[in-house]
Structure 1
């Protein structure tokens, strides 16, 4: 029987893997629509998506090393992410930046918590999580730099996207 810390590490790695798949979906949807609404953001969105693909591969490799299957929410995250990305991409650059900032704020909070909880208990999980934090912070910081104070989409989207991201993480930890 595996120790409880490893079970928690397995579950966290599974949810993070699914979340990275969702992030790829978000950026894919945004890239599709940004061709029409925010072409100046395409290079940044493609770069962020490439980071998320690398993150997904890191967590996928860790799952494989542990002999664990991916999370049941894997495809739900991808589809939901794509829909969110397409809708916000259609709304333009302010909505795209607000969405990334909101998602990454939640993700960064969870990653920091995961590192604290798993420190000294699951070094492989800590290593995998630690390897992506700087990229996620960069996505947050670059995107928040695009947001102009008092604009409509950030005020509307931030609470919705933040709550949705929290809900997906909560659900993923329980599936």
Structure 2
């Protein structure tokens, strides 16, 4: 029972995190229309992936009879603000944000899979369904960094990574 309780808690936080990611991309799409129009289609594609991920976690939460995490709306609002700001700052800031978020998220997902394997097969299945697309977001955005400036990545990476870690930490405790 304790293992599935942990799995439920993890799924709630992952669900909230996907809501945050959807809103990051939503904010970036709005501002990138002016700053980096060439990235808008990619951002929309990433956003649609995150919507699918959120639906996977929502379905599993519903199956378990669990409510969304208390940090759900905080993730959405914070994500939207982050997306608006980084979208205004251009290609380098957008890419740096995605790389920083996805690096943290991928680390957590791998840890979750190790922790839950053999204890909560449904949670493991849900998490496995999203890993490849999250890796793609990271890798495609990292490729943009090779053609963009270095200022925003150096400034934003530690801030965005620490913020992502903090939101996950908070979500696990709410």
Question: Comparing 104-113 with 147-156, which one deviates more in the overlay?
Answer: 147-156
Specify which of 27, 30, 33 is matched with residue 29 of structure 1: 27
Q: Is the 8 A contact 2:92 2:149 kept in 1?
A: no
Shift of 1:150: 6.5
Matched, 1:145 2:143: yes
Q: Mapping of 1:1-175 within 5 angstroms? A: 3-148=1-146, 151-175=150-174
Shift of 1:6: 0.5
Superimposed CA distance per residue, residues 97-148 of structure 1 (whole angstroms, 9 cap, x where no aligned partner): 0000000000000000000000000000000000000000000000000003
**Unmatched tracts of structure 1, length 5 or more:** none
Name the TM-score, length of structure 1 as normaliser: 0.98
In 2: Cα distance, 1:7 partner to 1:159 partner: 31
Shift of 1:173: 0.2
Shift of 1:157: 0.3
In 1: Cα distance, 2:109 partner to 2:150 partner: 28
User: SS of the residue aligned with 2:103?
Assistant: helix
Superimposed CA distance per residue, residues 55-110 of structure 1 (whole angstroms, 9 cap, x where no aligned partner): 00000000000000000000000000000000000000100000000000000000
Name the TM-score, length of structure 2 as normaliser: 0.98
> RMSD of the TM alignment (CA)?
0.8
In 1: Cα distance, 2:118 partner to 2:35 partner: 46
In 2: Cα distance, 1:113 partner to 1:150 partner: 32
In 2: Cα distance, 1:30 partner to 1:66 partner: 33
In 1: Cα distance, 2:10 partner to 2:37 partner: 35
